[in-house]
Amino acid sequence: MTVRSTVNATVGFAIFLFLWYLATHGNEVGDLPSPWMTVVALGEVSSQGILWQNVVASVFRVAWGFILAAAVGIPLGIALGWNMLLRETLNPLVQALRPISPIAWLPFAVIMFGGHALSSDLSAIFLLFLSAFFPIVTSATSATISLDLKYIRSASNFGIEGIDLFRRVVLPAAFPQILTGLRLALGISWVVVVAAEMLGVETGLGYQVMDSRNALRMDYVAAAMVVIAVIGLLLDTGMARIESIVLARRGISRR
């Protein structure tokens, strides 16, 4: 980030905190915790060690779900974009399943992996896999379809075919757009893991939100929400940085 963008982002957060303060000013009940109450609560849950255990649990689930989705979604998306017969056969199914909320798959996750809802990491990882898979496969398909034919023709002139064509031409040319899909998928996964953990799992940031609400500790709820927001910002910033590096190496400038 440049100095200018950092200053602008700081101003944006300052405005948000000020509006938050105004919304909670004079609130004596504590149902709407102020920024300072949230900071105090954040210190309390951090000192207890519970917060970091929940952060690790949520990040662990997201990482595995995201990695598995990328490992399956990118090759499948490229295959769908490259082969018209395969695309006409499978893409309608992918687009039909894509609008279904990952949380709607929860009953099937319980049946497949057993136990109570989301009691195991496998159930959560399965839901996170679904949440990331469809954006990834869709972006990979679109990137391959929109591939400039001049790359393919140039490669053919040099005798590059088969696996080498995909490895040296197709994947590098499609990767910037695929990377955008990965960034989107990671953000969706982080949203879904919190929502999934609020449904009954006994670890994770989503569970901490629900457990704090049941204990009527709204300041703890706000503290967990702040942590969720910070980690989400870090994940998105990291992916944006990787995207910028990839585009810069390809000589593509960004606004």
Arithmetic mean of pLDDT, 75-94: 91
Q: What average pLDDT does this structure show over 131-141?
A: 94
Name the least confident of 76-80, 157-161, 240-244: 157-161
Residue 82 burial (C-beta neighbours within 10 Å; 0-12, 13-18, 19+): middle
DSSP string over 73-88: HHHHHHHHHH-HHHHH
* 164-177 per-position pLDDT tens digit: 777 777 777 788 88
Q: What's the full length of the chain, in residues?
A: 255
Higher local confidence (pLDDT), 204 or 249: 204
Of the two residues 159 and 125, the one the predictor is more confident about is 125
d(CA 120, CA 84) in angstroms, rounded, equals: 39
Is the per-residue pLDDT at 255 higher than 80?
no
Cβ neighbours of residue 157 under 8 Å, at least 6 residues apart? none
pTM reported for the whole predicted model: 0.85
Residue 127 has pLDDT above 80, yes or no: yes
- Please tell me which residue, 83 or 29, carries the higher pLDDT value: 83
Spell out a b/e string for 172-185, using b for 16 or more CB atoms within 10 Å of the CB, else e: ebbbebbbbbbbbb
* pLDDT for 117: 43
Task: Collect all residues with Cβ–Cβ distance below 8 Å to 1 and sequence separation of at least 6.
Answer: 9
Q: Residues 58, 204: contact at Cβ < 8 Å? A: yes
Query: In this model, does residue 7 exceed pLDDT 70?
Result: yes
Confidence of residue 119 (pLDDT cuts 50, 70, 90): low
The pLDDT score that the predictor gives to residue 68 is 96
Per-residue model confidence as pLDDT tens digits over 27-81: 655 578 888 888 898 888 888 878 888 999 999 999 999 999 999 999 999 999 8
pLDDT, tens digit, 9 for 90 and up, residues 179-201 = 989 999 999 999 998 888 877 57
Q: Are 58 and 194 in contact (CB under 8 A)?
A: yes
Count of CA atoms in the C-beta half-sphere (13 A) of 66: 22
